[in-house]
Amino acid sequence: MSMAYSLFLPLMSSRSVHELLPSVLVAGLLLCPAALVHGSESPGDESARLAIKVDQVGYPLNGPKVALVSSPATTFEVRRSSDNQVVFHGKLGTAVFDPNTGDQVRAADFSALRRTGSFYLEVPGVGRSWNFTVGKNVFQHTYYMAMRAFYGQRCGTAVDMGPEFPGYSHAICHQHGEFHPSSGASGPRDNIGGWHDAGDYGRYMVNSGISTGTLLWAWEIYGRKLRNISLRIPESGNGTPDILNEARWNLEWMLKMQDDDGGAWHKQASEHFSGFVAPEDDKLPSEVIGTGAAPYKSTCATADLAAVGAIAARVYKPYDAKFAAQALDAARRAWAWTEKNPDVTFRNPAGVSTGEYGDASCKDERLWAAAELWRTTGEAVYNDFFLKNYAEFLPSLDSPPAENWNAMGQMALRTYVLSTRKGADANAVAAIRERILAAARAIVERTRANSYLTSMQAKDYVWGSNGVAADYGAGLLIANVIQPDPSFVDAARDNLHYLLGRNTFSLSWVTQVGEHPFQHPHHRPSGDGKQPGPWPGLLSGGPNAARQDALLAAMPRDLPPAKLYADQLASYASNEICINWQASLVFLLAGEL
Ligand SMILES: [Zn+2]
């Protein structure tokens, strides 16, 4: 659950992990992924693959194609995987020091290669790389994997990833819930549904808000490309595109978290984290948890419900007008509640230690709600609120926040500009556009100057840094919607390349994607001992220089920020999965299809 652990719960989280750690970790140490895949090869083969960093998924046929080499060498070849034929050869760039990793990096630019197929790099004196593809629609399968991973996170139902991933299934889970005393109510409240948030089984409105909103935006912007991609989920073929079918699973749960007065409870989770058990084996009571005092619901959760409900009203209208109307009604009632209760923040009540998703200010969430409601309805009340409050959030457009779930100013400003509503304030639109485009141009320059060709700065290696990389990409893609510019799309894709293997670890940070993906997510269904490996399609949190778990804390003091990562189940601060990072990855992939 991202930063919620780091700020308030490090001991609780690590304790729950350690209960069943020994056997899992021993297995992880003895059977590293490379040993499983290439057990018959020499250590030199392995070190070459780690030194030659490629996007293990691939490169679009007509775009830039760059690999990076961190061992001394001068030339490289691109060879066809099927018969080792050389299809391209070139000189490596000069070595450049990268302070974020401590690596000396040389670029292997094979952009001029215009052949489709499966290839690898051969670097004389170093060895060969992992395989990758050059072609059209090269990221479509990765989009499928990343979006389908949300199905794997479904709560309140049995899940089976099917014959493609045999053994990845769980029985129906969390079928009963109840009001916690902090909610101001009592008795049963099942609220079945939603997505398990992260490595744990909690469901949290605030993180659901940004995650679901991001997926619905992906549909609004890239729906033409996504419309016909089946996710092989139970609803497939029902006439609604699958990305919307999957998002609705979580939306339905969010709607159930709204009280009769319009406010939304903050979260539904057990009081403390379960052990590393399968979802159906988590028998801790699932509690609807509130603020502990009137009005019991929180403003951030309620405003996020208003925002997402407003988007849903636009998006689902062609497919299910009744559901769209229900979502809009919920959004309006949620907004009205926040007008009466503009600043009810949330902290975990006494005795509750699951993810907090606390936030000192809900003003940005309200701005997002107003902007989405304006975009959907065109009603002046929402526009007026937006125009009174937007200016203070303009600086938020310059860079992704470290915790994107608590900083909704960017989405508020972006949706105002993406809207085509008449009556929008021209000065506000111009100011936001200018700021978005200036930020994008600066990020492109920085990305080109970075030895690893990422937009990441030293300060970005925080809890969930891979989500920050994905958010840089998403921001560049939105800039490209506002003013098309191929350099924005290329720089966005550079961040995708980073996540898919062109990084210091030569590691794909998406499970079961690429030849060398990470293996040990902090994710209870992957760590319960019942599956052959990690559940597919999940994005790791990534390097975290704040070292908020024992494994990171024990690493050498002088290790550069981008190196502070452990592919181990116990490293919840660098290797957990989370739906908000996952949604950012899906958006980035959708934009690069
Ligand atoms: Zn569940």
Rounded to the nearest angstrom, the distance between the alpha carbon of 282 and the centre of ligand 1 is: 8
From 159-173, 187-201, 223-237, 523-537, the region with the lowest mean pLDDT: 523-537
- Alpha-carbon distance 458 to 448, whole Å? 16
Q: Provide DSSP, 132-145.
A: EEEETTTTHHHHHH
**574 pLDDT higher than 50:** yes
Residue 41 pLDDT? 56
The tokens of 147 are what? Answer: 């979006």
Task: Measure 286 CA to ligand 1 centroid, in angstroms.
Answer: 9
Residues contacting residue 519 through CB under 8 Å, at least 6 positions apart? 28, 32, 33, 511, 533, 534, 567
Type of residue found at 448 = R
Residue 409: closest CA among 300, 490, 302, 496: 300
Q: Do 241 and 226 meet the contact criterion of CB atoms below 8 Å apart?
A: yes
* C-alpha to C-alpha distance for 473 and 592, rounded to whole angstroms: 10
The pLDDT value given to residue 27: 30
Going by pLDDT thresholds of 50, 70 and 90, the confidence category of residue 42 is low
User: 532: how many CB neighbours lie within 10 A of its CB?
Assistant: 8
Give the range among 40-49, 352-361, 400-409, 570-579 with minimum mean pLDDT. Answer: 40-49
User: pLDDT confidence of 28, banded at 50, 70, 90?
Assistant: very low
Whether 443 has a pLDDT exceeding 70, the answer reads: yes
Residue 5 has pLDDT above 70, yes or no: no
pLDDT at 210 over 60: yes
Running DSSP on this structure, what letter comes out for residue 272?
Answer: S
Predicted pLDDT of residue 531: 83
On average, the pLDDT of the chain sits at 93
Say yes or no to pLDDT of 15 above 90. Answer: no
Minimum mean pLDDT range among 17-26, 274-283, 507-516, 529-538: 17-26
SS (H, E, C) 198-227: ECCCCEEHHHHHHHHHHHHHHHHHHHHHHC
**249-266: average pLDDT:** 98
Per residue in 182-206, is it b (16+ CB within 10 Å) or e — as a string? bbbeeeebebbbbbbbbbbbbbbbb
Neighbouring residues of the ion ligand 1, judged by CB less than 5 Å: 155, 173-174, 279
Distance 257 CA to ligand 1 centre (A): 16
62 pLDDT more than 90: yes
DSSP assigned state of 349? P
CA of 577 to the centre of ligand 1 (A): 16
Q: How far is the CA of 195 from the centre of ligand 1 (A)?
A: 7
Residues with a known catalytic role: 200, 522, 567, 576
Q: Is the pLDDT of residue 340 over 90?
A: yes
pTM of the shown model = 0.94
Mean pLDDT of 210-236: 98
Q: What pLDDT does 294 receive? A: 98
d(CA 154, ligand 1 centre) in Å: 7
In the chain the first and final C-alpha atoms are separated, in Å, by 28
Tell whether the model's pLDDT for residue 2 goes beyond 70. no
Q: What mean pLDDT comes out for the span 227-242?
A: 98
Using alpha carbons, list the distances in angstroms from residue 405 to 227, 386, 410: 27, 20, 11
What CA–CA distance (Å, rounded) separates 369 from 389? 12
14-18, 135-139, 316-320, 538-542: which range is least confident on average?
14-18
In the structure, what pLDDT confidence band is assigned to residue 494 with cuts at 50, 70 and 90? very high
Nearest CA to 291 out of 179, 184, 363, 178 is that of 184
Q: How far is the CA of 243 from the centre of ligand 1 (A)?
A: 20
Per-residue pLDDT reduced to its tens digit, 380-393: 999 999 999 999 99
Whether residue 9 has pLDDT greater than 50: no
Q: How far is CA 52 from CA 78, 183, 363, in A?
A: 12, 54, 46
Q: Residue 530 — pLDDT band, cuts 50, 70, 90?
A: confident
Rounded Cα gap, residues 396 and 401, in angstroms: 8
| 239 Cα: distance to centroid of ligand 1 (angstroms) | 27
Confidence of residue 532 (pLDDT cuts 50, 70, 90): confident
Q: How far is the CA of 350 from the centre of ligand 1 (A)?
A: 24
- Cα of 465 vs centre of ligand 1, distance in Å, is 26
The three-point CA angle 19-21-22 to 5° equals: 115
Across the beta sheet with 267-269, what order do the strands follow?
177-179, 286-289, 267-269, 203-204
- What are the residues whose beta carbons fall under 8 Å from the beta carbon of 275, sequence distance 6 or more? 16, 19, 20
User: Tell me: the pLDDT tens digits for 270-288?
Assistant: 999 999 999 999 999 999 9
Percentage of the chain beyond pLDDT 90 is 91
Q: Report d(CA 524, CA 274) in Å as an integer.
A: 9
Q: How would you classify residue 2: left for phi > 0, otherwise alpha for psi between -120 and 50, otherwise beta?
A: left
Tally of residues, the chain: 593
Report CA(563)–ligand 1 centroid distance (Å). 34
Output the CA 278–ligand 1 centroid distance in Å.
Answer: 9
Checking 556-559 for CB contacts under 8 A at 24+ apart, the result is 559/102
